Structure 1
Amino acid sequence: MKIAVAGGTGTVGHHVVDVVREQGHEPVILTRSAGIDLITGDGLARALAGVDAVIDVSSTKTLSDAESREFFGTVTRNLLDAEAAAGVGHHVALSIVGVDLAPYGYYAGKVLQEQLVETGPVPWTILRATQFHEFASQLYGRITLGPFVLVPSMQSQPVAAREVAERLVALATDAPAGRVADLAGPRVERMADMVRRYAKAAGKPARIIQMPLPGAYGKAMRVGTLLAKPGADRGVQTFDEWVATVGARGIRSS
């Protein structure tokens, strides 16, 4: 199969590309370096010629409702339109566990993405996953106050990005299935504890301070809205197993 990957150089995207190749399929990485712009749509028609399925793991760094909706709305519409024109038979989108229960900030765009996929012209599958293990490394140092590193008060159920990639490729090579079972990690963790363990393993000692984010978005993080519900599938690799590899190999954080 020929499988296009939107966001194929990111945290989960590079794993998706690896799995596609390992399984003997041909990946097409939708990236600006190859002349493909997901925002303008430039190059998509050429890139999708002969493609059987598209896996969308594109992402943006924003906590703004409007910016997130603009990004995911634009990218999703461009992909679906180009896929329909090219005769692509399957669109697979990665979303987030609990996104419909906390449609704020970054999640506002993901909710719109799901809506567009579900009502779009291309047969589809949507997989919701919890945060990746790498989320701890992405949060480290994002907000600082003097010697302190601030992280949001949050319950998480981190899952291995590689395991998410394997599930996405399995779905892409099968028939469109609509909303499939969510995928979560094996254990619930506190985000502050995760960041502390990451910082120690990475040799970046810091004083980690937990802070509650305001509003409904912050509440959803604190009270477990973003955790897996009954019926979700569970990944295998724990956060401790992942973080044990940090010092040896370094971490990809975007």
Structure 2
Amino acid sequence: MTIGTIAVAGATGRLGRHVADVLTERGHPFVPISRATGVDVITGEGLAEALTGVDVIIDVASWHASDQEAAAEFFRTATRNLHEAGAAAGARGIVAASIIGADKATAGFIAAQQVHEEANLSGALPARILRAAQFHEFVGQLLEWRQGDVAYIPNLPTQLVAARTVAEELVRLATAAPARHTPGTPIPEIAGPRRELMAEAAALLGARRGVEVVGIDDPDIPDAGIAAAGAFLPGPHATLAGPAFAEWLETEG
């Protein structure tokens, strides 16, 4: 089955930019959806027009802060609007990005992804979800929260993945025949090839930026206990793809 035009919701964001790059490189027609292009997935402004003639939607629109309630409301509204406008425009399906461990999280931005997933899976369009590990690019964001020249980073197990790698898998899913997720089957996951501690990855980047990194074990961090137990690591069915963080750092850091 040939897939026509793809809409990318959140096309100017951290992940969306990579999705747009992959589609451009492969010569696939797509419509970028973001406030920068005059389309607002929350108010719905410009959404019907943007989705006219679109076959499949890739949903990588995201909230900018970690507050669970605000993030959940964003995902609830944006997802409903994408499904309703997409169905009205004749789209055949939607592929949405989520986070590994979303089903286990109890607080913060990751827990809000439960709303995102549920809204997609119960929406008007057939939906596929891809849960990804934390991005390599997230490590630099953690270093920005430093105190002076020292960044205190949790010693949490992770399996960081490049945003570009996630984008390639989202495009693969979007260009396959649209299908609705089968209840009871595992939601696909993608992660990097190597397990490491978040603080160790941050130390590699910190060494380049002149930032000292101190690994910490802080039980007050939301879901620190389940994270330490591996709740946000990929399961046995996950796709593992490089580059690993150290390799990515050589070209991107």
Q: TM-score, normalised by structure 2?
A: 0.91
Where 1:220 maps in the other structure, the secondary structure is: helix
Q: Within 2, Cα distance between the matches of 1:133 and 1:215?
A: 20
1:168 aligns with 2:170: yes
Q: Which residue of 2 aligns with 1:205?
A: 211
Q: Which residue of 1 aligns with 2:157?
A: 155
1:237 aligns with 2:231: no
Amino acid at match of 2:55: D
* Contact 1:148–1:209 (Cα < 8 Å) also in 2: no
Query: C-alpha displacement at 1:22, in angstroms?
Result: 1.6
The Cα RMSD (Å) is 1.7
Q: TM-score, normalised by structure 1?
A: 0.90
* Contact 1:130–1:227 (Cα < 8 Å) also in 2: yes
Where 2:225 maps in the other structure, the secondary structure is: helix
State which of 11, 15, 36 in structure 1 corresponds to 2:39.
Answer: 36
Q: Within 1, Cα distance between the matches of 2:132 and 2:9?
A: 17
Identity of aligned residues (%): 42
C-alpha spacing 1:207/1:167, structure 2 compared with 1 (3 Å): closer
Query: C-alpha displacement at 1:209, in angstroms?
Result: 4.2
Q: Which residue of 1 aligns with 2:62?
A: 59
Q: Within 2, Cα distance between the matches of 1:246 and 1:162?
A: 11
Matches within 5 A, 1:57-206: 57-142=60-145, 144-177=146-179, 178=181, 180-201=187-208, 203-206=209-212
Query: C-alpha displacement at 1:59, in angstroms?
Result: 1.4
Q: Within 1, Cα distance between the matches of 2:221 and 2:212?
A: 27
* Contact 2:100–2:133 (Cα < 8 Å) also in 1: yes
The range that moved more, 31-40 or 42-51, is 31-40
Which aligned segments of 4 or more residues in structure 1 are displaced greater than 4 angstroms?
Answer: none
Query: C-alpha displacement at 1:146, in angstroms?
Result: 4.1
* Contact 1:160–1:237 (Cα < 8 Å) also in 2: yes
Q: What residue ranges of structure 2 are gaps of 5+ in the alignment?
A: none
Q: Which residue of 2 aligns with 1:252?
A: none
Query: C-alpha displacement at 1:180, in angstroms?
Result: 4.7
Pairs aligned (count): 245
Q: Within 1, Cα distance between the matches of 2:93 and 2:66?
A: 30
Where 1:17 maps in the other structure, the secondary structure is: helix
C-alpha spacing 1:180/1:69, structure 2 compared with 1 (3 Å): closer
Query: C-alpha displacement at 1:81, in angstroms?
Result: 1.1
